[in-house]
Each structure stands twice: as structure tokens, then as C-alpha cells.
Amino acid sequence: MKKLCSCGFPQSFPIPHEHDRTERENQIIKHYGGITEDLYEALKDIIGWMEKCQNAEWNFNGMLIDGRQALAKVDRKEG
């Protein structure tokens, strides 16, 4: 039998409905949401670099530095 939320709908295990979350659960969700956004931005950069590679006008060292900076930003958020 599914556990019902205080709003009357089935609980969305393992993450409760937003109004039933504790402050700590909200902090965790916000933290990982930020990491997801950073990874999305890094992926967009990688796709851009791949397009530049197809045009044969790209700077490998610049890509390497940008990639390291994007990963360092994610590492700082995880730490």
C-alpha cells in the first residue's frame, strides 16, 4: 500500500512532495540541481568544441583549459 502525502496524493518515494520536504532535503536538492546546471553548461561547451573541430578551426589548449575549469567548478560544488 502506498503511503499518502499530507495533500492526499500518493507519496513520491524517495523524494517527498515539495511541501513535505525538510530544510535539509531542500538543500540537497538545490545543491545537486546546481551541479546538474554546471554539467549541462560544460556539455554545451563540448558540443561547441566538436563543431569547431569539424570546421578545423579550434585551439586544443584553449579547449583543455576551458574543460578543466568547468570540471573544477563542478568539483568545488560537490566538495
Cα–Cα distance for residue pair 49/64, rounded to 1 Å: 10
Cα–Cα distance for residue pair 43/15, rounded to 1 Å: 27
Q: How confident is the model at residue 76 (pLDDT cuts 50, 70, 90)?
A: confident
Q: Any idea where the domains of the chain sit in the sequence?
A: 21-78
pTM: predicted TM-score of the whole model, two decimal places: 0.42
pLDDT at residue 79, as a whole number = 60
Is the Cα torsion angle 32, 36, 41, 45 positive or negative in sign?
positive
pLDDT in tens, 9-63: 666 655 556 666 778 777 888 888 888 888 888 888 888 877 777 655 556 666 7
Report which of 43, 30, 29 is spatially closest to residue 71, judged by C-alpha positions: 43
